[in-house]
């Protein structure tokens, strides 16, 4: 059983929540989201705002908070082999409803198919906000170029 162990990034004035499924091995080791060098999350978001990619964890947190973006994962703990979303079993979800209470979050965006499926199964009954699945920023989603990801992810700007 792997436990999440990374705190959510969420300021009270956050406008959107982006959820992944569960941190990769690299992210669990680094103690922050999307730490795998080839994950494009922190390339896509800064590109949407015409900014440089944040250099470190503090810069990433500051970027998210400054732009009204909350960040977490659907899963609090699970059985998982390395970083393989397809191997996820025995899920305990994070307390998403508690996280968003008292914030200005209006929409939930899901980073990839697995996050969307898990959200619908474990979280949706307790959270009534609109949500949208976006293409995964994972290097495993090789079908999407960085340019295509930026284009698809630009939908988040409507809520910020």
* Residue-range domain boundaries for the chain: 2-159
Q: What gap in Å lies between CA 42 and CA 64, rounded to an integer?
A: 10
Q: Give the architecture (CATH level 2) of 2-159.
A: 3-Layer(aba) Sandwich (3.40)
Cα distances (Å, whole numbers) of residue 10 to 84, 92, 99, 121, 144 = 26, 20, 8, 23, 28
Average pLDDT score over residue span 38-54: 97
* pTM beyond 0.85, yes or no: yes
Taking residues 30-45, what's their average pLDDT? 96
What is the pLDDT confidence band of residue 86, given thresholds at 50, 70 and 90? confident
Q: How far apart are CA 93 and CA 111, in angstroms?
A: 16
Model confidence at 4, pLDDT cuts 50, 70, 90, reads confident
What is the mean pLDDT of the segment spanning 20-45?
Answer: 95
Question: What pLDDT, on the 0 to 100 scale, is given for residue 102?
Answer: 86
Q: Whole-angstrom Cα distance, residue 91 to residue 88?
A: 7
């Amino acid at each position: 059983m792997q436990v999440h162990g990374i705190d959510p990034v969420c300021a009270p004035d956050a406008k959107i929540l982006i959820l992944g499924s569960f941190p990769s091995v690299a992210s669990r080791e680094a103690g922050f989201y999307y730490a795998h060098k080839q994950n494009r999350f922190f390339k896509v978001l800064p590109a949407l705002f015409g900014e440089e990619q944040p250099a470190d964890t503090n810069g990433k947190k500051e970027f998210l908070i400054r732009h009204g973006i909350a960040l977490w994962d659907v899963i609090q703990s699970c059985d998982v082999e390395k970083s393989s979303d397809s191997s996820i079993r025995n899920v305990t979800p994070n307390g998403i409803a508690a996280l968003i209470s008292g914030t200005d979050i209006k929409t939930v965006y899901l980073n990839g198919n697995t996050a969307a499926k898990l959200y619908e199964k474990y979280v949706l009954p307790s959270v009534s906000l609109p949500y949208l699945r976006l293409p995964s920023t994972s290097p495993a989603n090789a079908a999407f170029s960085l340019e295509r990801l930026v284009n698809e992810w630009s939908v988040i700007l409507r809520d910020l």
